[in-house]
Copies of this chain bind each other. A is one copy, B any other.
């Protein structure tokens, strides 16, 4: 049988990984797929570089539309990124009846509904294992491996840059800015790291996993997105003393009222496996009603790890394109006419627990006032820690009033209620600085 032919749009970091791995392992991949898989055409603005990467047998063009127009091409691999031209090209490839493989999480989290609907109408597949958690086959696990389950929640470290920064902050006691500089110097963070450090990249991925887990449309605009830029070294240290680590988690959870979809720094018990995922590694926990807790770990980015997922999608398409379209794996795990309309909840309706740090005047009655406000709102306390403010190692702390840090871990409470109590606490004259609030997930 003649090889299945793919065309590559974008020969950057991941694209070159796809070319290299497909070349290096072509025999082994063919022995698995039952059919050769060849990239016969590449579109990239830098044609000379792309030709050198792809080798002499491959046609290299500047115009991506020439790839889509080629009737020999069965699969179009989109590795351009972003919402702009990438979206147009993906839609055109679908219109042309091509299967599409993409690593573009931003595109799918924002325009997935339109793209999957078009693919469904045209009877083609849009595969995107590489869009979430790089080389970890988490889309496959969710969409196929755990189909027996009612998924209860997912919590993942799905951005390597921020996990690297948080690991540096913890290991070396660094503040965020210093750790970011380290990450940039070592190539773990880009020159403009906004999408990573503000949680946007993680939210794209969480949005996609949420849709697959619960059969809801992708709704990036409903996700709560909060990055790690405001984290202080002292909170990482206090968390440690309480038996927790701070990770940037992408979380989605099924509740009776709707679906939680949120990205923010979270305290996680240090004994959980996921709390021990260090550096730029990724890990995703999935809780299913039948299987219980499962976890998937690996490299979340990089040329060849991401290429590993792109090529797995090529093999899947090679296998599945002979199945009748109604029985292929649905794009979002559920059949398109069987999606749920469960709403994504506003953050005020999320129920979780909290770490609070209050800089207070070191005088009698302060603790009673603070805990009184919590009690009045029905919020119970899980643990507490009081530390001399000096331990905060902040410059210019020598104030007239003796100060102390009060760290409180709460049990579960609705975020709206927590917000009200924080406002009340902040109004106390003995609370001397903005209250720090970090959410806490037990993941049990």
A residues sitting closer than 8 Å to B (CB atoms) are 17, 21-22, 24-25, 28-35, 129, 135-137, 140-141, 144-150, 215, 273, 276-277, 288-299, 302, 304-305, 307-312, 315-316, 318-324, 326-330, 333-335, 338
Contacts and interface: CB of A to CB of B under 8 A. Distances in A.
A141 B140 contact: yes
A320 B338 CA distance: 20
Given A25-B149, A34-B335, A290 B135 contact: yes
Contacts of A305: 290-292
B324 A322 contact: yes
A333 B327 CA distance: 21
Closest 10 CB pairs of A and B: A137-B145, A148-B311, A294-B298, A323-B323, A135-B291, A31-B338, A291-B308, A295-B297, A290-B308, A290-B304
A362 to B, nearest CB: 39
A137 B141 contact: yes
Given A25-B290, A135-B290, A323-B323, A311 B32 contact: no
Given A24-B289, A146-B308, A149-B308, 13 more contacts: A25-B290, A29-B148, A31-B215, A32-B333, A34-B327, A35-B327, A137-B140, A140-B145, A141-B145, A273-B277, A291-B305, A292-B298, A321-B327
Contacts of A136: 294
Contact of A34 (B17, B296, B309, B326): B326
Nearest to A321: B327
Contacts of A304: 289-292
Copies in the complex: 2
Contacts of A273: 273, 276-277, 297
B137 A144 contact: yes
Contacts of A215: 28, 31-32
B150 A146 contact: no
B295 A291 contact: no
A285 to B, nearest CB: 9
A144 B315 contact: yes
A323 B320 contact: yes
A326 B145 CA distance: 22
A297 B273 CA distance: 9
A25 B140 CA distance: 20
A71 to B, nearest CB: 22
B308 A299 contact: no
B294 A135 contact: yes
A323 B322 CA distance: 5
Contact of A32 (B28, B135, B299, B334): B334
A342 to B, nearest CB: 12
